[in-house]
Chain A
Amino acid sequence: MKPFARLLDALIFTPARNGKLALIEDYLRHAPDPDRGYAIAALTGDLSFARAKPALIRGLVEERVDAELFRWSYDYVGDLAETVALIWPEADSRADAPHLSAVVERLHRAGRSEVPALLAGWLDALDSTGRWALLKLITGGLRVGVSAGLVRTALAGFGKVEAAAIEEVWHGLAPPYRDLFAWLEGRAPMPAVTAGTGFRPMMLAHPLDEADLATLDPRAFRAEWKWDGARVQLAASGGAIRLYSRTGDDIGPAFPDLVAALAEAGPLHAVADGELLVARTDRDDLAPAPFAELQQRLNRKSVTAKMASERPAFLRLYDLLFEGAEDLRGLAFGVRRTRLESWIARDPRPRIDLSPLVAFDTWEELAALRAKAREDGIEGLMLKRADSPYVAGRPRGPWFKWKRGPLTVDAVLMYAQRGHGKRSSFYSDYTFGCWRPRTDGEGRELVPVGKAYFGFTDAELVELDRWVRNHTVNRFGPVREVEAGLVLEVACDSVQRSTRHKSGVAMRFPRVSRIRWDKPVEEADEVATLERAIPA
């Protein structure tokens, strides 16, 4: 438990991705099997056992610590697992601290009524960091800022293999992953890739640099609309249906309406690539609703019937990777596209449709189409070479994304906050606002409309930091309020209505596109400008 606890503790404090990777790889090099496999599963959320509720933990600690002292401590610390870990009495002589694997395997067998005694025994045997890690583990949700994708990247680094190779085998494996480690340490061959519902690493596109269009032959490319939804991989085999996100997480459980509708239409055996979208309920055909509607459904563990009926999900497919057991990934995109079209025509299903090709002869013609497309659900265009096989990762050349031009707004810098890691000495996170009429009718006031922390160069950051320090009017911990004196041109992908923000608008993917040292703040935009950009 101790090395695992030390890993979690270090991860929570390490902001940089590379730092996290180094920590996980170091752990994998030193921890034995099966501990390290369970640690990986704990980080990726793939462990299942009887959990403990907060009330149970509170009960255990109040048997051992004066209730008043506990209350003062909990008030001060604010987090139950941490308070209990810190306050738990240190035993004079400790039993041997349990290994992570012993804890996981015992909990897996345990009934709910056995958990309190098991937990108390382990808490007695562990030090405070160990207790904290155990409590995080047993209450579920480690929250150490590590995604499943990051863990797989660390595994790839540890085994010196391609990340795509880990992705390929991952979904056929189960904790504690002995086969995986045997392969990564060169003691055994690569585990067999299971057919069927495993995740296949996705092929990704590079942003198009418009200057490069002159060097590309329009006849070699096919164009599709780039939909403003979530990229998913549908993997179906027999009765099982999985929906994988780009990082290989199964998000099917959040979309039971979609999974059920697909399953009801009979056995499905294919792996396809497409966009997850929410359909407008005021139309009979499948028309995408604004992204905000889909966002309501993402990141949920379960979904209510009301949510599913008000925001029905559907799939718009654009590629076919497997048809039955046949692997199509080595075929050209044009061929796979024909296979996809005939497959959908042969076996149509509710809640699946085909993402159409956009016909064009010249880049100018396509640019004009892209400029005109402002309707919901379209984020721009995808360009795919007709002869490109489906390969994992982000190869340069075969696929491009050509997003439609961003919206820009001139906003006034209002607050700045220190960044993290490398940027911890810089005020690098900026809250900016736009003007609106004061409610009392007396002139205008600034109201925050968003926050951005990238889009500028390192040299510009140094200047921004200096400006913030020289124009501070107020400090709140790590945040400085600055005088209204600097205009930032902020770009964003879209604007949505928001009940969370005082201004009533929220920008999607905002970034600083230019620093307008020259522009008087009075000439910055009004909130009304942003409101006009909200799709109807």
Chain B
Amino acid sequence: MTPHPETWLTPRPEGLWCAPGGFHIDPTRPVGRALITHGHGDHARSGHDAALATPGTIAIMRARYGQDAAGSLQPQGYGAPIRVGEVDVTFVPAGHVLGSAQVRLAYRGSVAVVSGDYKRRPDPTCAPFEPVPCDVFVTEATFGLPVFRHPPDGEEVGKLLHSLEVFPERSHVVGVYALGKCQRVIALLRRAGYDRPIYLHGALQELCDLYVRLGVDLGDLRPATVADKAALKGQVVLAPPSAIADRWARRLEDPVVALASGWMRVRQRAKQRGVELPLVISDHADWDELTRTLADVDAPEVWVTHGREEALIRAATLQGRRARALSLVGFDEEEGE
């Protein structure tokens, strides 16, 4: 008889635990053996004895944590199964950021897929999400409300380009998370034909360099920190969200403050953050992508983690699936980092 995943995959305070494999998935505290879905700080912590992840995620962990990343880091590419304990583990692209993976777990004929964070729309900086049939699908729910529907990326980048036309004298400072969002926004601008230099806050430089080394073309990037005020007039400057409305931004001349995030879909939320130009660009699945993915994966049972569980559980139930919340602590509600 095949064992139900709830007998061998269980939430623990430090993270999701797979007993027959002897590993945790994205644990929030140092553990013996960890599987890491992607490089964002709340999923990829440092200090595990051994970590298994895709080569892209390992490169990101090394860039961020250096020698402290883990006792040993084992790369494993997409699609090839590897035996860990008594469990067959396969990494499948999740489409979230470079290197991001879903984890397919097969144990005695029973299959569970842990999605990690994911999105469905094309992203020039990472491999696209692949739906995998399974008995239990563990899904994120960051944007688990039907009001969250991210518009096409091109429209959002178009808003930024339009603003550059209306306010040609003003710097446009765009808040982006250092990993993933930053490089995606650059790639989307390049795709829209924007070939002028893009200026970077110092905290964004290292991961951009890494993306370029891994073969993602980002065009002409320059440090914003040394550029003088006048040179940044009418230019696009990228900075971490915490810097866009704080002292760092004072180096800019009368900036238009933009923020690229799925939360920008709700005007009040954007206004609260003092954002003048909200750009609804997210690396997480929106509501339509979440519900479509449940149908594509077609698992009879869905476990919903970090985010707004109750609405997605309701939607899964309306699709005729069993669904429950899986409370995992330690993941940031804010997307990304």
Contacts and interface: CB of A to CB of B under 8 A. Distances in A.
Interface of A: 6, 9-10, 12-15, 19, 22-23, 26, 65-66, 68-70, 72-73, 76-79, 82-83, 86-87, 90, 127-128, 418, 420-422, 424-425, 477-478
A77 B147 contact: yes
Interface of B: 145-149, 151, 159, 162-163, 166-167, 245-247, 249-250, 254, 257, 265-268, 270-272, 274-278, 288, 308, 310-311, 314-315, 318
Contacts, number: 84
6 contacts: A6-B162, A14-B276, A68-B314, A73-B311, A78-B268, A127-B151
A14 B163 CA distance: 11
Contacts of A128: 149, 151
A425 B314 contact: no
Contacts of A82: 266-268
A65 B149 contact: no
A69 B276 contact: no
A23 B170 CA distance: 14
A158 to B, nearest CB: 13
Contacts of B276: 13-15, 19, 421
Question: What are the 4 A-B residue pairs with the smallest beta carbon separation, nearest first?
Answer: A86-B147, A424-B245, A73-B147, A424-B274
A502 B38 CA distance: 51
B271 A69 contact: no
B140 to A, nearest CB: 17
A90 B149 contact: yes
A73 B145 contact: yes
A422 B170 CA distance: 11
A224 to B, nearest CB: 41
Contacts of B145: 69, 72-73, 76
A87 B246 CA distance: 33
Contacts of A425: 245-247, 249-250
B267 A66 contact: no
Contact of A13 (B146, B148, B275): B275
Nearest to B147: A86
Given A12-B267, A86-B266, A422 B254 contact: yes
Contact of A87 (B147, B271, B315): B147
A338 B65 CA distance: 85
A68 to B, nearest CB: 6
A173 to B, nearest CB: 27
A13 B268 contact: no
A66 B318 contact: yes
Nearest to B145: A73
A25 to B, nearest CB: 9
A418 B310 contact: no
B166 A13 contact: no
A86 B148 CA distance: 7
B290 to A, nearest CB: 12
Nearest to A72: B311
A477 B268 CA distance: 14
Given A13-B270, A477-B272, A83 B147 contact: yes
B252 to A, nearest CB: 10
A374 to B, nearest CB: 42
Given A13-B267, A76-B308, 8 more contacts: A12-B267, A13-B271, A13-B278, A15-B276, A66-B314, A69-B315, A86-B148, A128-B149
